[in-house]
Structure 1
Amino acid sequence: MSLMILKHVILEAFKDTLFEETIIIRIFLQKLEKKFAKNDKVEISMILEKLLSMKYEGKENIREYILKMSYFTLELKTLKLELLEHLCVHLVLISLLTQFSQFKVSYNY
């Protein structure tokens, strides 16, 4: 309703000017969006680096440590890079201390 009123109230001379300005603003916003667009490849690389460099040091709860690793895999999944479940389990097992070797042995059987 308000757009209809504005169309009738605005003089014809101003309509062309406003139309040109809105086109310029749209182009500017599109260029700005491209410039600051999130680069998924960089984000994937950073998350993978965090995931692969994680080592359990025994200071935190083992459950929270594994949840943190699974959170990174979920982030990768949202970026359309899905890791296989077996790979995730192996990454967790590799990053654990030697005192958890019983988990490694029981998983491999």
Structure 2
Amino acid sequence: MKYFAAITLHLQASSVIVFNGLNFSEWCEQVKFHLGVLELYLALLEDKPTAITDISNEQEKLYHKQWERSNRLSLMFMRMTIANKIKTTISQTENAKEYLNFVKERFRSIDKSLAGTVMAQLTTIKYNRLKSMHEHIIEMSDIAARLKTLGIAVDDSFLVQFILNSLPPEYGPFQTNYNTIKDK
């Protein structure tokens, strides 16, 4: 049974994007999801329980054991999904919640900077006919989805407007027709 758990943990970790210092929001979302699926999220939700004493009851002992397991495996999971060059810059703690918070604080400004770059990409991209219109729209939708993982939600009506604005002048009649229909 222990081998199965180890294999499952490794398989889940290998499907998470590697944190490279520039993708905290996306990495964190995936880590939390996978730890939730593995039912290892307890240590990320709750602070470390008080130490077990002679007067601790069975329920307290069981909770402490579950939290310790969650904490240990969550730390391993997160460390397995961080690029080696980043691992050395992260404070070594034995508490999964503290570890995740430290990573968040350390790389928050980089994430915000990335959000600005991605927003600029969405607002300045132009359709250049090197790919199909469908591929262009999908690319812009992907950029908007990436912004969402960085904490910036792009309303669908704004996305449509960005897409229309990215089209060359010969699509002017289409833009006008769309705006006329939209305003009714």
TM-score by structure 1 length?
Answer: 0.64
Out of 7, 23, 26, the residue aligned to residue 93 of structure 2 is 26
Residue 91 (structure 1) shift: 0.7
SS class of match (1:59): coil
Structure 1 residues 84 and 25: CA distance shift in structure 2, 3 A:
closer
Q: Which residue of 1 aligns with 2:129?
A: 58
Alignment pair present for 1:47 and 2:114: no
Match of 2:82 in 1: none
Query: Which blocks of at least 5 consecutive residues in structure 2 are unaligned?
Result: 1-90
Aligned residues with identical type, % of pairs: 25
| Structure of larger gyration radius | 1
User: CA offsets per residue over residues 1-37 of structure 1, 9 Å max, x none?
Assistant: xxxxxxxxxxxxxxxxxxxxxxx9528xx5x846863
Per-residue CA deviation, residues 73-95 of structure 1 (Å, 9 max, x unaligned), is: 00111122101111111111111
Picking from 91, 104, 107, the partner of 2:175 is: 104
Determine the structure 1 residue equivalent to 2:146.
75
Tell me how far apart the structure 2 counterparts of residues 34 and 103 of structure 1 sit (CA, whole Å): 44
Which has a greater percent of helix?
Answer: 1
Unaligned 5+ segments in structure 1 are: 1-23
Any conservation in 2 of the 1:56–1:96 contact (CA below 8 Å)?
yes
**TM-score, normalised relative to structure 2:** 0.40
Return the alpha-carbon distance in structure 2 between the equivalents of residues 75 and 44 of structure 1: 9
Q: What's 2:162 paired with?
A: 91
Give the total of aligned pairs. Answer: 85
